Amino acid sequence: FFTTFALRIANQGSEVGTMAGTDQPLPGLPSTDEATGTGRTTTSLADQMGPMVINEDGTMKRIANWGEMTEVERANTIRVISKRNAKRIETLKKAREEMVNALSAAAIIPDVIADVDDTPLRSTFISYTGPDSTRIELENGIELSQELSAQEPVVSWPGPAAGSADTDSSFMTVIMLDPDAPSRGAPQFRNWLHWLVVDVQNFGGDIISIGLDQPKGGDGGKEIASYKGPTPPKGTGLHRYVFLLFRHTTRIADTMDTTLEQNRASFNLREFTEATGLGAPSSVMFFTCQSQ
């Protein structure tokens, strides 16, 4: 439960050549041959553009100066990128497997989401500040008191690489749910909506943050349902409080149900993601809490 199964990412510059600013999330991890640029003998547009480079977080880039390279330089570049891509693919696959195992062990799969996408999850940093200024960095599965989690947390994640195509067309939506309302054994109000912020702009090269003492509105997104801290009923045991982050390329605020602030019970996550086209979450983290 304490495995941090959101990948720590660092959008790095090129080790070979110059990277074009075209970060895209992987729709699915490619095979080693496909990703390394090997196994092709015919000339195509892809050959002219050069091999695909896989970043540590699973996004992909092209080499901008591929057309200026000599044949020897291209061969050396392919050799280096092939080895690096293969290693990163295996690392991403292993991380995804660990993530699925952790989510399944906590029954987040299938209680909250049916599965996770092949796209590796982005890193997420969540912290709560208590009434005595105690600050807690969230780890998956940690138990927090109602007092400590009463105020909205700060949720942060790295934005796309500076200057990439992602910068002006990438948003994040943050949802916090309690799938155990009123109890895990009888969750007739699953999911209880505790927080919903949509359309947070991802700025290139920045750490993006929402929550306590962070700007609201505009580039900081639109808060559809304000934060409500955990209020598990007495005698119902531990409740799981799940944060889900969804990356998307178009704004969705105009499609929102404006009554969600008042009607938080039985929030249907599947219907919500289908209606908004959000797809699978980019990051999932959770903590537990019980009545004091």
- Residue 259's pLDDT is 93
pLDDT above 60 (res 5)? no
Dihedral through CA 281, CA 285, CA 290, CA 292, nearest 10?
-120
pTM for this entry = 0.76
CA 124 – CA 152 distance, rounded (Å)? 15
- Most confident listed range (2-6, 168-172, 288-292): 288-292
- What is the DSSP secondary structure assignment for residue 102, as one 8-state letter? H
Tokens of 271: 């219907």
CA 125 – CA 154 distance, rounded (Å)? 8
Residue of 223, 227, 221 lying closest to 193 (CA atoms): 227
For residues 30 and 89, the answer to whether their CB atoms sit within 8 Å is yes
pLDDT above 90 (res 165)? no
Lowest mean pLDDT of 15-19, 211-215, 245-249, 266-270, name the range: 15-19
CA 193 – CA 197 distance, rounded (Å)? 11
Q: Across all residues in the chain, what is the average pLDDT? A: 81
pLDDT above 90 (res 260)? yes
| DSSP letters spanning 189-219 | TPSEEEEEEEEEE--TTSEEEEETTS--SGG
CA 286 – CA 113 distance, rounded (Å)? 13
Instruction: Band the pLDDT of 232: cuts 50, 70, 90.
Output: very high
Secondary structure of residue 127 in the 3-state scheme: strand
Rounded to the nearest 5 percent, the helix, strand and coil shares of the chain are: 25, 20, 55
Comparison of pLDDT for 7 and 283, the residue scoring more:
283
Instruction: Band the pLDDT of 141: cuts 50, 70, 90.
Output: very high
